[in-house]
Amino acid sequence: MEEITDALLKLSRVTTTEMKHVAVDLSSLVKAAADDLVQSDPGRQVEFTIARDISVSGDPAMLRVMIGNLLRNAWKYTGKKESAKIEFGNTRVDNETVYFVRDNGAGFDLDCADKLFIPFQRLHSHADFPGFGIGLTTVQRIVQRHGGRIWAEGEATKGATFFFTL
């Protein structure tokens, strides 16, 4: 119960904290989050591909939380893969920069994608993948506070990609 309360408090802070807008090196945030994950479980074999020199204007603390949640999500759902891969990059879609975090993990049924960002909604059992269903909700709120949007594509057993704009 204490962990759920802590998660809800963090979610609340994301929506009420005053924002700063400065140049933020997203590539560096991704690299730091990836290094933290590897350090937390050095026995895991995960191939990270991180695009270089991707910078945005935004709140550094919030973007750090956002990137951390997206990478922890990918880390968790690739946990049963022998050759796990997690990628961060960007692309142009309709004259807009779109950023993404992609993995080759458990994926999800695309028909359930609307549940991904709803608090406490989970697409996988807690026994298979622990968590509370707050991380992606937090990511969505941070993206929205930055004037962006987030969406996901995936296929069961073939991985997921989370796309976002800022």
Q: Exposed, middle or buried: residue 144 (CB in 10 Å: 0-12, 13-18, 19+)? A: middle
Two tokens, residue 139: 């990511």
Residue 10: give its domain's CATH number. 3.30.565.10
pLDDT at 135: 87
CB crowding 47-81: b at 16 or more within 10 Å, else e = ebebeeebebebbeebbbbbbbbbbbbbbbbbbeb
Does pTM top 0.85 for this prediction? yes
The values of phi and psi at residue 113, to 5°, are -60, -30
pLDDT-based confidence at 1, cuts 50/70/90?
A: low
120-131 pLDDT per residue, tens: 565 554 455 555
Q: Which residues form the domain of 93?
A: 2-164
Mean pLDDT of 39-59: 96
132-141 pLDDT per residue, tens: 568 899 999 9
Domain count, the chain: 1
